[in-house]
Amino acid sequence: MSSDKFHIERSEVVYEGRMITAEMLDVRAPGGRMVKREIVRHPGAVAVVAVHNGCVVMVEQYRVALDDDLIEIPAGKLDVTGEPLADAARREMIEEVGLDPVDLIRLGSFVPAAGFCDEVLTIFACTECVEVERKVDGVEEEHSIVHHVPLAEVHEWIDDARLTDTKTLIGLHWARDRGLLDIVQ
Protein backbone atom coordinates (compact mmCIF):
# COMPACT_ATOMS: atom_id res chain seq x y z
CA MET A 1 0.00 0.00 0.00
CA SER A 2 1.49 3.30 -1.07
CA SER A 3 -0.11 6.70 -0.77
CA ASP A 4 0.83 10.35 -0.41
CA LYS A 5 -0.88 10.62 3.00
CA PHE A 6 -0.32 9.26 6.48
CA HIS A 7 -2.84 6.66 7.62
CA ILE A 8 -3.50 5.28 11.10
CA GLU A 9 -3.63 1.51 10.71
CA ARG A 10 -4.14 0.53 14.36
CA SER A 11 -4.75 2.17 17.71
CA GLU A 12 -4.39 0.56 21.13
CA VAL A 13 -5.39 2.25 24.39
CA VAL A 14 -2.50 1.73 26.80
CA TYR A 15 -3.79 3.97 29.60
CA GLU A 16 -7.17 5.40 30.46
CA GLY A 17 -7.41 7.95 33.26
CA ARG A 18 -9.87 10.54 34.54
CA MET A 19 -8.52 13.30 32.31
CA ILE A 20 -6.49 11.67 29.56
CA THR A 21 -6.19 8.51 27.50
CA ALA A 22 -2.89 7.34 26.03
CA GLU A 23 -2.82 5.38 22.80
CA MET A 24 -0.13 3.55 20.85
CA LEU A 25 -0.66 4.01 17.12
CA ASP A 26 0.66 2.13 14.11
CA VAL A 27 0.88 4.71 11.34
CA ARG A 28 1.61 4.06 7.69
CA ALA A 29 3.69 6.89 6.24
CA PRO A 30 3.63 8.00 2.59
CA GLY A 31 5.55 5.36 0.66
CA GLY A 32 4.38 2.54 2.94
CA ARG A 33 6.75 2.66 5.93
CA MET A 34 5.11 1.74 9.29
CA VAL A 35 5.94 3.79 12.39
CA LYS A 36 4.72 3.74 16.00
CA ARG A 37 3.47 6.89 17.68
CA GLU A 38 2.28 7.59 21.23
CA ILE A 39 -0.67 9.95 21.52
CA VAL A 40 -2.43 11.57 24.47
CA ARG A 41 -6.15 12.12 24.00
CA HIS A 42 -7.55 15.09 25.92
CA PRO A 43 -11.15 16.38 25.95
CA GLY A 44 -10.06 19.97 25.31
CA ALA A 45 -10.19 23.05 27.49
CA VAL A 46 -11.32 26.65 27.71
CA ALA A 47 -9.72 29.73 29.22
CA VAL A 48 -10.84 33.32 29.80
CA VAL A 49 -9.02 36.65 29.78
CA ALA A 50 -11.26 38.44 32.27
CA VAL A 51 -11.13 42.22 32.68
CA HIS A 52 -12.97 43.33 35.82
CA ASN A 53 -12.86 46.75 37.51
CA GLY A 54 -9.81 47.83 35.51
CA CYS A 55 -7.86 44.65 36.25
CA VAL A 56 -7.09 41.35 34.55
CA VAL A 57 -8.14 38.54 36.86
CA MET A 58 -5.71 35.62 37.14
CA VAL A 59 -5.27 32.60 39.36
CA GLU A 60 -2.10 31.42 41.07
CA GLN A 61 -2.27 27.69 41.66
CA TYR A 62 -0.10 24.63 42.14
CA ARG A 63 0.71 22.58 39.05
CA VAL A 64 1.95 19.13 40.01
CA ALA A 65 3.59 18.44 36.60
CA LEU A 66 6.01 21.30 37.34
CA ASP A 67 5.89 21.00 41.15
CA ASP A 68 5.42 24.74 41.26
CA ASP A 69 2.78 27.47 41.40
CA LEU A 70 1.85 29.23 38.15
CA ILE A 71 -0.12 32.40 37.54
CA GLU A 72 -2.68 31.77 34.81
CA ILE A 73 -5.89 33.06 33.34
CA PRO A 74 -8.93 31.09 34.59
CA ALA A 75 -9.22 27.84 32.66
CA GLY A 76 -10.42 24.28 32.78
CA LYS A 77 -11.03 21.15 30.81
CA LEU A 78 -14.18 20.25 28.93
CA ASP A 79 -15.36 17.61 31.37
CA VAL A 80 -19.14 18.01 30.99
CA THR A 81 -20.36 16.02 27.99
CA GLY A 82 -22.07 18.18 25.37
CA GLU A 83 -21.44 21.44 27.26
CA PRO A 84 -21.03 24.39 24.86
CA LEU A 85 -17.61 26.07 25.02
CA ALA A 86 -19.01 29.38 26.28
CA ASP A 87 -20.88 27.59 29.09
CA ALA A 88 -17.69 25.79 30.10
CA ALA A 89 -15.82 29.11 30.14
CA ARG A 90 -18.53 30.64 32.34
CA ARG A 91 -18.46 27.63 34.70
CA GLU A 92 -14.68 27.86 35.06
CA MET A 93 -14.85 31.60 35.80
CA ILE A 94 -17.34 31.00 38.60
CA GLU A 95 -15.34 28.08 40.01
CA GLU A 96 -11.91 29.66 39.90
CA VAL A 97 -12.39 33.39 40.49
CA GLY A 98 -16.00 33.98 41.58
CA LEU A 99 -16.94 36.03 38.54
CA ASP A 100 -19.80 35.43 36.14
CA PRO A 101 -18.97 36.92 32.73
CA VAL A 102 -21.69 39.13 31.25
CA ASP A 103 -20.06 39.10 27.83
CA LEU A 104 -17.87 36.38 26.32
CA ILE A 105 -15.85 37.13 23.22
CA ARG A 106 -14.26 34.15 21.49
CA LEU A 107 -10.63 35.08 20.78
CA GLY A 108 -9.59 31.83 19.12
CA SER A 109 -8.43 28.25 19.55
CA PHE A 110 -5.00 26.64 19.47
CA VAL A 111 -3.34 23.26 19.89
CA PRO A 112 -0.86 23.37 22.80
CA ALA A 113 1.14 20.21 22.05
CA ALA A 114 0.37 18.87 18.56
CA GLY A 115 3.39 16.56 18.55
CA PHE A 116 1.79 14.17 21.02
CA CYS A 117 -1.62 15.44 22.18
CA ASP A 118 -4.96 16.21 20.50
CA GLU A 119 -6.07 18.86 23.02
CA VAL A 120 -7.66 21.99 21.54
CA LEU A 121 -7.84 25.00 23.86
CA THR A 122 -10.33 27.79 23.17
CA ILE A 123 -9.77 31.22 24.68
CA PHE A 124 -12.48 33.74 25.43
CA ALA A 125 -12.33 37.26 26.82
CA CYS A 126 -14.82 39.19 28.88
CA THR A 127 -14.88 42.86 29.78
CA GLU A 128 -17.79 42.86 32.19
CA CYS A 129 -18.43 40.46 35.08
CA VAL A 130 -20.74 40.06 38.02
CA GLU A 131 -19.20 39.01 41.33
CA VAL A 132 -20.63 35.70 42.60
CA GLU A 133 -19.61 33.09 45.15
CA ARG A 134 -16.72 30.88 44.02
CA LYS A 135 -17.64 27.25 43.43
CA VAL A 136 -14.21 25.72 43.96
CA ASP A 137 -13.73 22.32 42.31
CA GLY A 138 -10.56 20.49 43.33
CA VAL A 139 -7.81 20.69 45.91
CA GLU A 140 -5.60 22.98 43.81
CA GLU A 141 -8.44 25.50 43.48
CA GLU A 142 -9.05 25.30 47.25
CA HIS A 143 -5.51 26.58 47.76
CA SER A 144 -5.38 29.00 44.83
CA ILE A 145 -4.92 32.76 45.04
CA VAL A 146 -6.93 35.13 42.84
CA HIS A 147 -4.90 38.07 41.51
CA HIS A 148 -6.37 41.30 40.16
CA VAL A 149 -3.63 42.82 38.01
CA PRO A 150 -4.28 46.46 37.05
CA LEU A 151 -4.41 47.07 33.30
CA ALA A 152 -1.57 49.58 33.76
CA GLU A 153 0.66 46.71 35.00
CA VAL A 154 -0.53 43.73 32.98
CA HIS A 155 1.55 44.72 29.93
CA GLU A 156 4.69 44.44 32.08
CA TRP A 157 3.56 41.01 33.26
CA ILE A 158 3.14 39.92 29.63
CA ASP A 159 6.52 41.23 28.52
CA ASP A 160 8.85 40.52 31.48
CA ALA A 161 8.69 36.70 31.56
CA ARG A 162 6.79 36.65 34.86
CA LEU A 163 4.12 34.56 33.13
CA THR A 164 5.18 31.24 31.60
CA ASP A 165 1.88 29.47 30.96
CA THR A 166 1.16 29.12 27.24
CA LYS A 167 -2.61 29.66 27.32
CA THR A 168 -2.15 32.73 29.50
CA LEU A 169 0.43 34.31 27.22
CA ILE A 170 -1.53 33.54 24.05
CA GLY A 171 -4.79 34.78 25.58
CA LEU A 172 -3.27 38.00 26.87
CA HIS A 173 -1.55 38.69 23.52
CA TRP A 174 -4.79 38.05 21.62
CA ALA A 175 -6.73 40.30 24.02
CA ARG A 176 -4.08 43.03 23.79
CA ASP A 177 -4.10 42.81 19.98
CA ARG A 178 -7.86 43.43 20.03
CA GLY A 179 -7.54 46.42 22.34
CA LEU A 180 -9.27 44.66 25.23
CA LEU A 181 -6.43 45.48 27.62
CA ASP A 182 -6.36 49.19 26.83
CA ILE A 183 -6.78 51.52 29.77
CA VAL A 184 -10.02 53.49 29.45
CA GLN A 185 -9.67 57.06 30.72
Whether 140 is a known active-site residue: answer: yes
Q: Taking the CA of residue 145 as centre, how many other CA atoms within 13 Å lie in the half-sphere pointing to its CB?
A: 8
- Of the residues 38, 92, 140, 142, only one is catalytic, namely 140
DSSP per residue, the chain: ---SS-EEEEEEEEEE-SS-EEEEEEEEPTTS-EEEEEEEE---EEEEEEEETTEEEEEEEEETTTTEEEEE-SEEE--STT--HHHHHHHHHHHHHSEEES--EEEEEE-TTTTTB---EEEEEES-EEE------SHHHHT-EEEEEEHHHHHHHHHTT----HHHHHHHHHHHHTTTTPPP-
Positions annotated as catalytic residues are 140
